Amino acid sequence: MAVAYERKAFPPVPEIKRIGIIGAGQMGGGIAQVAATSGILVDLVDLSAERIEATLQRIDGLLDRQIAKGNLTAEEKEAALSRIHTGESFDKLSEADLVVEAATENEEIKKKIFRELVPHLKADALVASNTSSISITRLAAQTDRPERFIGMHFMNPVPAMKLVEVIRGIATEEETYQAIRRLAEKMGKQAVTAEDFPAFIVNRVLLPMINEAVYTLYEGVGTVESIDTAMKLGANHPMGPLELADFIGLDTALSIMQVLYEGLADSKYRPCPLLVKYVEAGWLGRKVKRGFYDYRGATPVPTR
């Protein structure tokens, strides 16, 4: 259901110099890093202070690696880190020209975030969601500014992956779309436009393939290792599908399959029961050190 807000005329779309990010997880941290190294000020907000701390440390380490490779100087690293400000409440986002939501892939959580965010936004601020699959039009309807709302879908890991999918909701205005494309370019990314249908382009194609790999495991056609090796050597994929599922996060992968299954009402998208079982066990992949592989030792060990 859309939220009823009083319609108002908007001031012009601002130049995006400061972005707020909601969620300091794998994606929020990556977006913060790339924005900060592109000269953009960042306000990074998460419910969990520990998560923010861990993410800042991760960014610190990743920037050190860039220095070691000769891609960044120590001064540039310090300048980038000094652009990232953090906090645990949406008050921190009141100066942002754009707020990018990168919280947990759950529609109810995201809708609640947008309803709570609205009173803190600048009048001219744009709002984006990094959702992998949820309708931009439905999320936009939770705000007072569907015209200024857009999907900005970065890929994981954000610093390494060149693509940003840009998804217009039914109400998204042209100026908002153009501003987000310019921002993607400023962040060194290539934008591709997708229509607002479940899971957009990349995940509409990728997740059913991963889900099918889990079925292949579930039905005993192959082991974790044989499935991943087969797809790496036989289809020239840089990572096996189960390794990739662990990297994405099995909760996120399941959630995307559920969105496809419900949104397109087609049984071909039915989430594999084995994927459901892994998520129920809390074996969510790399981020918790266990998924289709166990990452607690020196080298990953298949769990089946």
Residue 153: active-site member? yes
Give the residues lining the site for ligand NAD (CB under 6 A). Answer: 22-28, 45-48, 51, 102-105, 109, 113, 130-132, 153-156, 248-249, 252, 287
- For the bound state, the minimum distance from the C-beta of residue 47 to ligand NAD, rounded and expressed in Å, comes to 5
Strand partners, 193: 166
Residue with tokens 């890929």: 155
- For the bound state, the minimum distance from the C-beta of residue 109 to ligand NAD, rounded and expressed in Å, comes to 5
In the bound state with ligand NAD, the residue whose beta carbon lies nearer, of 23 and 291, is 23
What CA–CA distance (Å, rounded) separates 2 from 140? 8
Which residue is closest to ligand NAD by CB? 25
In the bound state with ligand NAD, the residue whose beta carbon lies nearer, of 37 and 131, is 131
In the bound state with ligand NAD, the residue whose beta carbon lies nearer, of 29 and 300, is 29
To the question of whether residue 263 is assigned a binding role by annotation, the answer is no
∠29-30-33 over CA atoms, to 5°?
A: 85
| Cβ–Cβ < 8 Å for 248, 285 | yes
Give 55: exposed, middle or buried? Use CB within 10 Å, 0-12, 13-18, 19+: buried
In the bound state with ligand NAD, the residue whose beta carbon lies nearer, of 72 and 258, is 258
| Cβ–Cβ < 8 Å for 172, 45 | no
To the question of whether residue 162 is assigned a binding role by annotation, the answer is no
Catalytic residue among 129, 132, 133, 211: 132
To the question of whether residue 46 is assigned a binding role by annotation, the answer is yes
Strand partners, 129: 101, 151
Residue 165: active-site member? yes
What CA–CA distance (Å, rounded) separates 221 from 61? 40
Active-site residue numbers? 132, 153, 165, 203
The binding site comprises 23-28, 46, 105, 110, 132, 156, 287
